[in-house]
Chain A
């Protein structure tokens, strides 16, 4: 009963069933609707805009190929984000084996889009946030996210950035809600320490 209700409430359901009948235009609607969130998830996971774009394309193509297997047990969007999460993780593994770098210690300089950012010494100046450009600050946060282990990264992205519920996250990652909670705690703590190092006092 619960699942049936979900199917009905899934606003993408109409388009999904059209896609199953081979309507490519219906799929375009879904692409336009979800591509932004897909891209953001991928970008936060990978930390590279170009890579994220590639992953989003691959995700939609795999989703279209597998859309007949989509049973509607979860929301279509949840299913879609699961795909993009998995592809992102695979890509990360690939990149790591390609460019093997030692596991990033929290004390180490942090990798960002712009390259290495030197760990800054703790500063007592209270107005440090204001001094930073917004973008620069965000890049530092992203750098800290990048430094997280994959399994801590995904819960943080899905919960704190994308705002999914614990239930949705546990479905997407196929882990128990308790695991989601504990992982989320660890990743927040790790991020906190990282941010302290990068931007000084919080």
Chain B
């Protein structure tokens, strides 16, 4: 056996963990080899030195420090692993569903947004509605005044009422006059266009300007409302509505102006649903809606419709409510006709 082989096994030899045969071989070799004997003694010393290394003592605080760290670890894991413990958690997480706080935040924001939206929306309605109702009320008052003061004729409102009254008298009783007046106002707005050939009939906004042309009556009326206690807005409206009336008068007188507008009054119970129905009817008949104005208890719809479909329209309107035709003399005409429909709720009538 060579020395290198022997020396490799010396490590095991000193621990006596080699086979008996190997042990004998090594011992045989060691007797004759000084080099390997020296190696063996050196190895024994080395191991002895290493084994003689004294144990070091742990510091006093080591156990405490270790346990402190472990106890804090335990607390941390308990919080993580057992969140259901404790009254607080049971109260606030009864369903054992883990939802991220973001989810609650998102829902809260949505609910708040909807709530704010809902609280604001009605306010807007309220703001709009009063202007309409005030107008009507104001007009009603004006009407009453005008009726009372008709004899005097000093009040300009009277003038407004009187032409209408004349109109109504032809077809309606004196009682109906009042309604006719009310209803006719908006309707009359539309007819103004045809009378003004110079002005574009489609432009509704020009109504306000239109009145100037017709007759002194219009001017008079315009001035009067502003003089009265009526608000500016109202005065405008009055002006608009007042303007057409004279035109009608003119028409009645047999002016050459082509008449392509028809005024209808429809008495119904439910204003909103009926107006929707009427709109459907237009669309069915191929009509065009031009303008819609709503007031407190009435709604005015201005449409354009082929004259051929006029009869059909009347039939359908009769199904919806009580129709009062104010002017139907123009059936023989061709082309589109402008029709003003005033829808009045019956329930609110006095």
Contact = CB atoms under 8 A, between A and B. Distances in A.
Contact of A61 (B45, B46, B57, B73): B73
Nearest to A137: B49
Contacts, number: 96
A155 to B, nearest CB: 11
Given A53-B62, A202-B42, A185 B12 contact: yes
Nearest to B69: A61
Contact of A57 (B53, B57, B62, B74): B62
A161 B62 contact: no
Contact of A32 (B8, B11, B41, B63): B63
A137 B53 CA distance: 9
A28 B46 CA distance: 37
A160 B46 CA distance: 10
B126 interface: no
B106 interface: no
Given A35-B58, A138-B54, A188 B43 contact: yes
Contact of B47 (A36, A40, A160): A160
Interface in A42-96: 43-44, 49, 52-53, 56-57, 60-61, 64-65
Interface stretch (A5-13, A99-107, A168-176, A191-199): A191-199
Contacts of B51: 160-161, 163
Interface-central residue, B58, B59, B73, by most chain A CB under 10 Å = B58
> Chain A interface mostly helix, strand, loop or mixed?
helix
B113 interface: no
B315 to A, nearest CB: 88
A23 to B, nearest CB: 10
B12 A61 contact: no
Given A24-B74, A39-B56, A188 B62 contact: no
A64 B58 CA distance: 19
A21 interface: no
Interface in B59-83: 59, 62-63, 65-67, 69-71, 73-74
A108 B65 CA distance: 38
Nearest to A134: B54
Interface residues of A, number: 41
A24 B63 CA distance: 13
A142 interface: yes
A153 to B, nearest CB: 11
A40 B66 CA distance: 16
Contacts of B198: none
Nearest to B62: A35
B46 A57 contact: no
A161 B56 CA distance: 12
A197 B52 CA distance: 19
A43 B42 contact: no
Given A31-B63, A40-B55, A185 B42 contact: no
A156 interface: yes
Given A24-B74, A57-B66, A202 B45 contact: yes
Interface of B: 7-8, 10-12, 17, 41-43, 45-47, 49-59, 62-63, 65-67, 69-71, 73-74
20 contacts: A27-B70, A31-B63, A31-B67, A36-B57, A40-B56, A52-B56, A53-B58, A60-B66, A61-B70, A64-B70, A141-B53, A145-B50, A181-B17, A184-B11, A185-B11, A189-B11, A191-B46, A195-B46, A196-B42, A202-B45
Given A40-B55, A141-B49, 15 more contacts: A24-B71, A27-B67, A35-B62, A39-B58, A43-B56, A57-B62, A57-B66, A60-B66, A141-B53, A161-B51, A166-B17, A181-B17, A191-B50, A192-B46, A202-B41
